[in-house]
Amino acid sequence: MNMQEMLKDKRQLFWLLQLAGWSGWAMSFYLGVIMWGRPPEMYYLYLPFIATIGMLLTLVLRALYRHMWEMEITRRIVAIVAGSYAAGLVWMAVRGTVFYHFYPEQRKVTEQHGMELLSYFDGAISAFWVMLVWSALYFGIKNYMLAQEEKERGLKAVSMAHEAQLKMLRYQLNPHFLFNTLNAISTLILDRDNELANVMVTRLSRFLRYTLDNDPMQKVSVTEEMEALRLYLDIEKVRFDERLQLHFDVDEAVSDALMPSLLLQPLVENAIKYAIAQAINGGRIAVSAQQQGQRLHLQVADDGPGIELNGKSPAKSGGVGLVNCRERLKEIYGEQQSFELCRTEPHGLTIDINIPLEFGNRAS
């Protein structure tokens, strides 16, 4: 078991701190005795024994503190002080009994000078402070660990909510896209174009298999994203044939750069719905991926009628695709991304996306 696992095990951590703390007390006590002179030979047995007794008394305190953990703060403070004082008295009584048993000559010295009661009182105050410090450390460490656990639960809850939000946004696309495609297949069947409908069903199957095989929390390379777009566009080609013109421009320098899976598909779908489908002669869609400094610049442009813009946002909703893409980028990258709309000259809509340039293995 490594140190990190040991620190997570509360029982082992408690005993580790107990042994370290009482060993440290025994060592400091021994050094104090050395400063006053050479300690008696039996001190090597006496000191570990009284340290063990002190440790056993703190186990009693631990049981008491567990029992009164839910009490109000005032009653807890009273219990801590009273418990520490009682434990100090008992510990000092045991220490005195054992000490005078090992060193009877020392009892005679203290009795002759009338200092037995004063010596016990001084020792009891010292023992009380040791127990009080132990109690303060116990509560301090326990409260710190509870706070860390609460923080960890909070972070886990936020992470789960974040993941659920991303998955919701990602899976929101499938029913929307599926509705449009099935509607097109239904139209082909009604027109008795069964062969073309069959081709479209086959290509739809390939695309859906791709979406199900890819984790929505996982990023993919730009190359994989473009391949997924082509799977989708194979379906749309059946519907629009020569009316749909496509142009891909992917810089080789960013072909292995990472991006959210199926980020561009709803934007292309949006362009087809509002630009290509509404034009008698169809239109052109251009998709590009370029490196701009330490940023990955993605662009989807069409030559359709465009939409009314208010600054860099649509004056009215531009469809599910735009909203979904914008929300996914915010969830994943926060303020490190930009999503901007502008007019394509002489007409149309251009969507510019900038995200951090990342390379490496596919990562969540």
Query: Are 254 and 145 in a shared domain?
Result: no
- Amino acid at residue number 179: F
Query: Are 137 and 198 in a shared domain?
Result: no
> What's the confidence (pLDDT) of residue 349?
92
Closest CA to 177 of 51, 104, 260, 272: 272
From first to last of the 364 residues of the chain, give the pLDDT tens digit: 554 555 567 788 888 888 888 888 888 877 777 776 666 666 667 788 888 888 899 999 988 888 887 778 888 888 889 988 888 888 888 877 776 666 555 554 444 444 444 455 566 788 888 889 998 888 888 888 888 877 877 666 566 555 555 555 555 555 666 777 788 788 888 888 888 888 888 888 888 787 777 666 678 899 988 988 888 888 888 778 788 899 999 999 999 999 988 888 888 888 888 888 888 888 899 999 999 999 999 999 998 887 776 655 554 445 667 887 888 888 788 889 999 999 888 888 999 999 999 987 654 4
Q: What is the pTM of this model?
A: 0.54
Query: Are 208 and 352 in a shared domain?
Result: yes
CA atoms within 13 A on the CB side of 323: 10
Query: Are 118 and 201 in a shared domain?
Result: no
Percent of the chain whose pLDDT exceeds 90: 15
Query: Are 223 and 309 in a shared domain?
Result: yes
The residue segments making up the domain with residue 340 are 193-356
Residue 342 and residue 287 in contact, taking contact as beta carbons nearer than 8 Å: no
Under DSSP, is residue 250 helix (H, G, I), strand (E, B) or coil?
A: strand
Question: What is the number of structural domains in the chain?
Answer: 2
- CATH classification at residue 306: 3.30.565.10
Query: Are 202 and 322 in a shared domain?
Result: yes
Residue 141 domain-assigned?
yes
DSSP annotation of 317: -
What are 186-232's pLDDT values in tens digits? 888 888 888 888 888 888 888 878 777 766 667 889 998 898 888 88
> What's the confidence (pLDDT) of residue 363?
45
89 φ, ψ (degrees, to nearest 5): -65, -45
Residue 186 domain-assigned?
no
Pairing mode of beta strands 283-292, 338-343? unpaired
Tokens for 101, please give them. Answer: 């048993």
Alpha carbons 314 and 325: distance in angstroms, whole number: 14
> What's the confidence (pLDDT) of residue 117?
44
